[in-house]
Amino acid sequence: MWFRNLQLYRLPPHWDMTADRLSEQLARLVFQPCGSQDQATQGWSAPLQDALVHSVDGQWMIALGVEQRLLPSSVVKQVAEDRAEELEAQQGFKPGRKQMKEIKEAVTQELLPRAFTRRRKVYAWIDPKDGYLAVDASSRTAAEPLIECLHKALDELPLKLLNTEMSPGAAMTGWLAGGEAPDGFTIDQDCELRAVTDEASAVRYVRHSLEGEEIRDHIAAGKQVSKLALTFDDKVSFILTDKFEIKRLTPLDTLTDEGGASDAATREEQFDADFALMTGELRRLIPAVLEALGGEQETI
């Protein structure tokens, strides 16, 4: 499996952790399905079969299991309003604010056990050799539940955001204005530009040539690139954002062809082959992106 997004964090190289010890500590917070009165639960789940840490060639994958009860607020509101009308007929006056709150709470408790549940997994890749942790999430906010659960489960987690010396937005704007990507990269045909003084003002290009004067006019008018489609080494395409997020990560045919036809006989073997191919390429991509953005910012 390939991650679609990367929210990147820094672990110290040669982090003092083993896959077995990590699995033992994650087992403190194992996923449990929602109880009758739980609106949501989360905990560590096996990425593939039984092991909480799936290891391939020294690279680890973990997964946070999340289950939510689907109880729309509109349903609770409608049932609560019906109950309030019945109560009004009985007592001769409309329920007050406190009484309505109690009715809604009672309705929620009544309906929760009957609500459908939705279950999903949020995956993370840990590179203990080079000190990367990447969450397959569309934003930092979406990655936070996994990071919070890691902090709860582990004795110690020396984790920091991975930041760059150059502002990604400023760097991408320079690449686009000059019509030249950094070494190893090519600029593709998707981008978004935003006004620095007004984030609501944005221009988006999708499958559109980015070489015309129109683009440079937007930049000259004060807009800065907030998202830019790039390809690395003709093998992986992605969107880089001004928040240093990697999105729409996609392996290209040249990469999968290099890997050769899969001889995997089982789902597990295919999973391992895909994971090894992905991590091998990302361990080249991430340092290249960091170098293009002036290197990693030193944290004090």
* Burial 7-24, CB ≥16 within 10 A → b, else e: bbbbbeeebebebeebbe
Range of the domain at 77: 73-113
pTM, full prediction: 0.85
| Spatial separation of the C-alpha atoms in residues 243 and 226, rounded to whole Å | 8
Choose among 146, 124, 149, 213: nearest CA to 176.
213
- Phi-psi label, residue 6: left if phi above 0, alpha if psi -120 to 50, beta otherwise: beta
Q: At a CB cut-off of 8 Å and minimum separation 6, what does 55 contact?
A: 19, 61
- CATH number for the domain harbouring residue 148: 3.30.310
What total of structural domains would you count in the chain? 3
**Same domain for 146 and 94:** no
**Same domain for 174 and 156:** no
Domain contains 299: no
Domain contains 35: yes
Question: Whose structure tokens read 């997004």?
Answer: 5
Whole-Å CA distances, 190 to 19, 174, 194: 39, 16, 14
In tens, the pLDDT along 27-42 reads 999 999 998 888 899 9
Domain contains 300: no
**Same domain for 249 and 213:** yes
The mean pLDDT value for 132-160 works out to 95
The CB-side HSE value for 121 (13 A sphere, CA atoms) comes to 14
| Spatial separation of the C-alpha atoms in residues 217 and 36, rounded to whole Å | 58
**Same domain for 227 and 156:** no
In tens, the pLDDT along 158-214 reads 999 999 999 999 999 999 988 889 999 999 989 999 988 766 788 888 988 888 788
